[in-house]
Amino acid sequence: MGTTFGEGRIDFSEATFGEGRIDFSEATFGEGRVYFIGATFGEGDVDFTEATFGKGGVYFRGTTFGEGDVDFSRAQFLGSANFSGLNEASAITSLYFRHCTFNHSLDLSGNRFICIPDLTNTKLTHQVSLDGLVCEFRLNEKGIPDPKDGERLCRLKEIAEANKNHEQALNFHIEEMRVKRPKLSGWLNKKIDKYFDAVSEYGRSIIKPLHWLIRSWYVFGLIYSCISIGLNPMKPWWEHFGNGFLYAAAQVVPFVAAGRESSRESINALFGKDTDTPNWLFTISLTQGLISFLLIFLIGLALRNRFRI
């Protein structure tokens, strides 16, 4: 605590620190580079609060931290700060950079944390690398996330947006929404939010809504086919199923000219030209059309997010 190092290079590379609390708080490192590359910290908290790192930069690339909190709160980084590719980063229970000052680049890429790094109230003047950064929030005994994780994820999203990393910004936004879900008011709002996440991952996934679109087409195709079989049992079964699935496909894309024509032809084939179409069938068709429209919208939203420039 409060240690002052000289102006030359400080090298703790491959060093091994024992278990228990490691205290570098209020330490002052000189203008030379500081290396913790490949160093190993045992189980316990690591404290760098209010430490000052010189213009030479500090490098924690490939460092191993044991289970515990890693705290850089209110530290000053006058040079670059490299925390990329930490070894067993998932062991870190909390990572704090709150109120830090970064006068150069910050690199957090290639890490997978089971906590949300806290970069709230930090001063950032250069690029922040977040490529490959994965953060997972934890739940308490009641299954509720830490409310502060929402603020931390919001800050990470802001940083990703400032660095034009749209994919990471979307990932952090999704996690932020999941953290904030328990705070939503009203049963309906929570259900809508939950289903939006389940069906499309908040507009990130293309495969999920496409999967549900195909499944809905299949289910409604079976419904139309079974109705046709009940009304016209003398027809071959393959005609019922062919017309049923064709009519269901027409409800998926009713805005296409071929879809409208196919809908008219297939409904005549299903129930006959001179048969009055029952109103309840239109209710089923409208239900399918609404579901299909919502799923197509989610696919378009995911495509927009995927290829956003």
Q: What is the pLDDT of residues 269-298, one digit of tens each?
A: 666 665 566 677 778 888 988 999 999 999
Q: What is the pLDDT of residues 54-90, one digit of tens each?
A: 999 999 999 999 999 999 999 999 999 999 999 988 8
Q: What is the pLDDT of residues 115-169, one digit of tens each?
A: 999 999 999 989 999 998 999 888 877 778 888 999 999 999 999 998 888 888 8
Question: What is d(CA 20, CA 44) in angstroms, rounded to the nearest whole number?
Answer: 5
pLDDT of residue 233: 67
The answer on pLDDT for 204 being more than 70 is: yes
Q: 184-193 burial by CB neighbour count: b if 16+ within 10 A, else e?
A: eeeeeeeeeb
Write the CA distances from 222 to 63, 90, 209, 264, integer angstroms.
Answer: 57, 47, 20, 18
pLDDT of residue 244: 80
Q: What is the pLDDT of residues 252-277, one digit of tens each?
A: 876 555 555 566 666 666 666 655 66
Which amino acid is present at 282?
F
Write the CA distances from 45 to 31, 92, 211, 308, integer angstroms.
Answer: 26, 9, 45, 41
pLDDT of residue 52: 94
Q: What is the pLDDT of residues 8-37, one digit of tens each?
A: 889 999 999 988 899 999 999 988 899 999
Q: 107-116 burial by CB neighbour count: b if 16+ within 10 A, else e?
A: bbbbbebebb
pLDDT of residue 34: 93
Write the CA distances from 267 to 252, 264, 285, integer angstroms.
Answer: 15, 5, 11
pLDDT of residue 277: 64
pTM: 0.78
Mean residue pLDDT across the chain? 86
pLDDT of residue 137: 86
User: Radius of gyration of the chain from Cα atoms?
Assistant: 29
Following CA atoms 177, 178, 179, 182 in sequence, which dihedral angle do they give, to the nearest 10 degrees? 100
Question: What is d(CA 300, CA 297) in angstroms, rounded to the nearest whole number?
Answer: 5
